[in-house]
């Protein structure tokens, strides 16, 4: 393998979720911020909630007059 072309690998990288959950794993970035993790994602929690991406749900409801 060539020398000095690979990124630095951090075995103690930290992933911070918007719900407050902190996960430690290995990555080439020291810290990452995410919106959803396995503890707050509706698929894993069993909740029935819609994850709104940039107001798409509100636009859909306004377009078709749903409440």
Predicted confidence (pLDDT) per residue in 25-39, tens digit: 999 999 999 888 878
pLDDT of residue 61: 79
**Total structural domains in the chain?**
1
- 2, part of any domain: no
Higher pLDDT, 15 or 37: 15
How many Å apart are CA 26 and CA 16, to the nearest integer? 14
Q: Which residues contact 1 (CB under 8 A, 6 or more apart)?
A: none
CA 58 to chain centre: 21
How many Å apart are CA 47 and CA 59, to the nearest integer? 23
Q: Is the pLDDT of residue 19 over 90?
A: no
- In 1-67 the beta strands, taken as DSSP E runs, fall at 10-17, 22-27, 31-34
pLDDT of residue 15: 94
pLDDT band at 22 (very low <50, low <70, confident <90, very high): very high
The overall average pLDDT reported for the chain is 82
CATH number at residue 16: 4.10.80.400
pLDDT of residue 24: 95
């Amino acid at each position: 393998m060539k020398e000095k072309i690979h990124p630095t690998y951090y075995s103690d990288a930290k992933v911070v979720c918007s719900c407050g959950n902190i996960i430690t794993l290995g990555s080439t970035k020291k810290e990452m911020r995410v919106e959803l993790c396995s503890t707050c994602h509706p698929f894993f929690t069993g909740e029935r909630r819609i994850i709104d991406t940039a107001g798409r749900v509100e636009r859909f409801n306004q377009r078709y007059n749903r409440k």
